Structure 1
Amino acid sequence: MNMTTVTKGLSRFVLRTSVALPLLLAPAVSVTVLEAVGVSGSFAQAQAAEQKTRKTPAMRESAFKYLGKAQEAADAQNWQAALAALKEMEAGKDKLNGYEAAQMYYFYGYVYYSMEKYPQAISYYKKVLQQGEENLPVALEVGTLLTVAQLYFVTEDYKSAIDYLNRWFKVSDTVNADSYALRAQAYYQLGDNAKALADINQAVSMYEKEGKVPKENWFGLQRFLYYEKNDYKQVANILEKLVKHYPKGEYYKQLAGMYGELKREDDMLHMMEAAYIAGALQKEKELLNMAYLFMGAETPYKGAKVIDKGIKEKKIERTSKNLETLAQAYQMAQELQKSIPELEAAASMSDKGEIYSRLASIYLDLDKNEKAVDMGAKALKKGDLKRPDQLYIVLGMANANLKKYDDALKYLKKAKDDKRSEKFASQWIAFVESEKEREEQLAM
């Protein structure tokens, strides 16, 4: 094998071992590191551009043979054989120059990473850096710093990850938005929210200046950090971007909540309605809150439809209280005919007579006096009424309309016993007595 052949093979080998880890690392690590794959992916270009800026010892044929043997085993994913070749090479490490040792340790790191033995991988990658600048191509040093930082992410040693990231920031000329986002997440994991916010803001700003849409999880971290600062205006601004670029029902709900905090009631209603349309409101409490918002915004019919649909889909429980709210929404929307069946169902399920009392009043207004009397009787039977005097007046008037004057007077006199209704009841008593007398005279 002549030296030209060795040199060509060596170039291919160094490129393969130097680039392999950052590219292979992504699938096995957390989302944080995965998002930084753009940083790692720049390593090959960096090596090609920078290797000529630092002279390093050449790799000799004897060292290349060992590494080639390890590479062959690694290609077959025979990690034990790869380690055996490397250990055989390491046995003669006194004869290796600094560059050869660095490549050997780098390959050790790669093999241990591939075996998911991350602490051992970190240890060997750090040995690469210990060979000193005079033995390391610039790109190998830069790439190894980032690789160690990424592996510390995998092992959740975020302090060490930041230490190596900061070293990498100082020497790399490929720092980009992904780099800042990666470091932001490390600072966040350590609880340093101020530095995390500064870095994630930088990442977002760099993307936006290039006309690119920042990544969803960048906005997510940014939103959380501003929320921790109680900066709801900024949180709303970020959520508006999320709704625009990554429309999800959850973001509509969160933005509606922020509009509520900012006293932007109209915007809150519109955003909640968007969340409802998007199907993001599934829980009973959420759906009822949506209905209450519609009712409060003087669009009660929309509120009634939300409750009605929720009950039919069994997302809202068919309870007396919920049916009463549905009936109330219909009443507010001047849909009395739709409210009555719901009120009657609610009344039958209630252990109190209050709803029957309301029904008696509604039927009286509709001039359905017999129904009013019937509902009033049910109300009295169930009892526990807030204002029985008002029900007595309703029953008095309904019976009077039916010309049942004795029954009317009986209820009106009961109403008169309550000072709150005394005056009104007295007027009706006088009227009913005169009508009774008139009817009796006509009968004669």
Structure 2
Amino acid sequence: MKLTTMTKGLSKFVLRTSVALPLVMAPAVSVTVLEAVGVSAPFAQAEAQSEQKTRKVPAMRENVFKKLGKVQEEADAQNWPAALQALREMEAGKSKYNAYETAQMYFFYGFVYYSMERYRDAINAYKQVLAQGVENIPVGVELNTLKTISQLYFVTEDFQNALNYLNKWFKASDKVGAEDYALRGQIFYQMGNEAKALQDINRAVSMYEKEGKIPKENWLSLQRYLYFEKNDYKKVTQILEKLVKYYPKGDYYKQLAGMYGELKREKDQLHMMEAAYIAGALQKEKELLNMAYLFMGHEMPYKGAKVIKKGIDDKKIERTSKNLETLAQAYQMAQELQKSIPELEAAAKLSDKGELYSRLAGIYLDLDKNEKAVSMGSKALQKGGLKRADQLYIVLGMANTNLKKYDEALKQFKKALKDDRSKKFAEQWITFVEKEKAREEQLAI
């Protein structure tokens, strides 16, 4: 028998992911159709047995059983056109059949049409089963037919009729299980009745959990979505924790990390994002950079640097000035200055402003690499766009002083004098440099 998987899509889940609700449609009949409908041998007794109830139905005669057997043979071979032809030949003499025999014929029709994916025809055939009068068909056939019609209406997106027939099945059956509530919950969701959908899906999940079973993934997915629509982030978080536990997937890690962030559970957010990263679920540049920022924000800058470096090497993070600057910053925070400087230089080269070269000038001055400080400062001035040119002039003045280039140093400090924010500091350095220059000139005499 061919099984068909129908997938009904949910609206986009706001945690940057979409959610899908697969509904696996299995016909209410099995491969051995005769056994499925309660006919297992010629001259089967009129009394059909059900786990729930016993109902006396008319007897099936041998000639009708043989005709159904022919349909069965073609169905077993999945020769649906031949099966359909056999049914049509049989239908030509239906005036001679009793209600039970007619119902069985239409039950076969429904099965064959279903297998041919002619769902509307299958629905009409199954309705003919019920039209023979429920007193003339076994309880099991009645219940299977009601549920099958409901499922077929679901497939054809006639959700109101799907609900009507499923509710009839609920009323007639005393064996309502978690799967049935889950199905009705999905129908309610498709109809836009989220309150009733949540009520049914909650019941389905609860029933499974009470039996020690793991709720199905698509049940939890629908449950999560419905609580998210209610802005109940605590419930969403609890459901995502189950999804991560039972169905570990990268998207669930990311969604749970997002929920932890909403609930201000920063450490849990970090750990879940790291789990997503380790699982290979973070592939986009934004996701990888967010992971790095989380590490840096939790005083683990070296881990952040490793994420960015690998992302750049793997070409998942673009080698831009800003990204290289962030990498350099992470190394610097981790006290890895020797790794930081090359990345900052690369960032400065790609930038259209001189700000990063200005920062490098200060770093090289602190490292007592005065010539490099002067070189970086010159590049910064060439590119321009500096927020605090006065500070760079101070750096250049100090570096030139250390190189004993006093005239150049004084030139830079005098430029810094023009900005009131650096005026006092520049004046102090000018006084110092002038004294040093005079002292060295005196020594040279």
TM beyond 0.5? yes
**What residue in structure 2 maps to residue 106 of structure 1?**
107
CA separation of 1:377/1:52 partners in 2, compared to 1, >3 Å: closer, same or farther? Answer: closer
Aligned to 2:250: 249
Matched, 1:234 2:235: yes
Q: What's the CA shift for 1:51? A: 8.4
- Bigger drift between 365-374 and 155-164 goes to 155-164
1:354–1:384 CA contact under 8 A, matched in 2: yes
Which amino acid is 1:210 matched to?
Answer: E
Q: Which residue of the partner structure matches residue 50 of structure 2?
A: 49
The question of whether the paired residues in 1 share the 8 Å contact of 2:397 and 2:408 is answered with yes
- Cα offset, 1:60, TM superposition: 2.2
- RMSD of equivalent CA atoms: 2.2
SS across alignment from 1:421: helix
The answer to which of 156-165 and 351-360 deviates more is 156-165
- 1:403 is the counterpart of 2:379: no
Give the stretch that moved more between structures: 188-197 or 50-59. Answer: 50-59
Q: Where do 4+ consecutive residues of structure 1 move more than 6 Å?
A: 38-41
Cα deviations by residue, 1:255-283 (Å, 9 ceiling, x for unpaired): 01001111111111111111111111111
Distance 1:311 1:273, change over 3 A: same
Distance 1:159 1:397, change over 3 A: same
Post-superposition shift, 1:89? 3.1
* Deviation at residue 88 of structure 1 after TM alignment: 3.3
- Give the secondary structure class of the aligned counterpart of 1:30: strand
Aligned partners of 1:102, 1:397: CA distance in 2, in Å? 101
Q: Could you say if the C-alpha distance between residues 305 and 70 of structure 1 is closer, same or farther in structure 2, counting changes exceeding 3 Å?
A: closer
Tell me how far apart the structure 2 counterparts of residues 225 and 194 of structure 1 sit (CA, whole Å): 8
Write out per-residue CA displacement over residues 127-147 of structure 1, whole angstroms, 9 at most, x where no aligned residue: 111111221111111111111
1:35–1:178 Cα contact (<8 Å) kept: no
Q: What's the counterpart of residue 271 of structure 1? A: 272
Q: Is residue 49–residue 55 contact of structure 2 (8 Å, CA) maintained in 1?
A: no
Structure 2 equivalent of residue 204 of structure 1: 205
One-letter amino acid of the structure 2 residue matched with residue 73 of structure 1: E
1:171 aligns with 2:147: no
Structure 2 residue 392 is the aligned partner of structure 1 residue 391: yes
Q: Distance in 1 between matches of 2:324 and 2:292?
A: 13
> Is the alpha carbon distance of 1:117 and 1:301 closer, same or farther for their aligned partners in structure 2, counting shifts above 3 Å?
same
CA distance in 2, matches of 1:50, 1:61: 26
Q: Does the 8 Å CA contact 2:355/2:387 hold for their aligned counterparts?
A: yes
In structure 1, distance between residues paired with 2:318 and 2:80: 60
Aligned to 1:288: 289
> Higher strand share goes to which structure?
2
Larger fraction in helix:
1
The residue aligned with 1:30 is 6
- Secondary structure, in 3 states, of the residue corresponding to 1:279? coil
2:282 counterpart SS class: coil
User: Distance between the aligned counterparts of 1:118 and 1:158, measured in 2?
Assistant: 14
Residues in 1 aligned to 2:281 and 2:81: alpha-carbon distance in whole angstroms: 52
2:255 partner letter? Q
Instruction: Name the residue aligned to 2:423.
Output: 422
Which residue type is aligned with residue 150 of structure 1?
Q
- Measured against aligned partners, the alpha-carbon deviations of 1:292-347 in whole angstroms (never above 9, x if no partner) come to 11111121111111111111111111111111111111111121111111111111
CA contact (8 A) 2:6 2:25 kept: no
Offset of residue 354 of structure 1: 0.8
Residue identity matched to 2:358: S
Q: TM-score, normalised by structure 1?
A: 0.89
Distance 1:114 1:40 in 2: 11
Alignment CA distance shift 1:380-1:364 (3 Å): same
Q: Which residue of structure 2 aligns with residue 118 of structure 1?
A: 119
Q: What secondary structure does 1:317 align onto? A: coil
With over 3 angstroms needed to count, the CA separation of the structure-2 counterparts of 1:69 and 1:278, relative to structure 1, is closer
The change in CA–CA distance for 1:247 and 1:38 in structure 2 (over 3 A counts) is farther
Q: 1:380 and 1:337, CA in 2 relative to 1: closer, same or farther beyond 3 A?
A: same
1:44-443 paired onto structure 2 within 5 Å: 48-50=49-51, 53-443=54-444
CA distance in 1, matches of 2:282, 2:391: 40
Distance 1:300-1:404 versus aligned 2 partners, 3 A rule: same
- Contact residue 22 and residue 218 of structure 2 kept, 8 A: no
Quote the sequence identity (%): 74
Q: Normalising by the residue count of structure 2, what TM-score does the alignment of the two structures yield?
A: 0.89
Distance 1:106 1:320 in 2: 70
Tell me, in whole angstroms, the C-alpha distance in 1 between the residues paired with 2:25 and 2:124.
Answer: 22
Q: Retained in 1: the 8 A contact 2:37–2:141?
A: no
* More divergent stretch after superposition (67-76 vs 234-243): 67-76
CA distance in 1, matches of 2:22, 2:290: 40
**Alpha-carbon spacing, 1:245–1:29, altered in 2? closer, same or farther (3 Å):** closer
**Alignment check: 8 A CA contact 2:331 2:340 kept:** yes
SS at match of 2:132: coil
Deviations 1:365-388 (A, max 9, x none): 111111111111111111111110
Distance 2:139 2:346 in 1: 80
Deviations 1:158-214 (A, max 9, x none): 221111111111111222111111111111112211111111111111111111111
1:46-87 deviation digits (Å, cap 9, x = unpaired): 974348711111122343333233333333444344333333
- 1:21 corresponds in structure 2 to none
The answer on whether the counterparts of 2:60 and 2:101 sit within 8 Å (CA) in structure 1 is yes
CA contact (8 A) 1:36 1:182 kept: no
Distance 2:56 2:363 in 1: 96
> Structure 2 stretches of 5 or more lacking a match?
8-20, 39-47
- Alpha-carbon distance in structure 1 between the residues aligned to 2:399 and 2:66: 108
Moved more, 388-397 or 160-169: 160-169
Higher mean displacement: 368-377 or 170-179: 170-179
CA contact (8 A) 2:106 2:129 kept: yes
1:8 alignment partner in structure 2: none
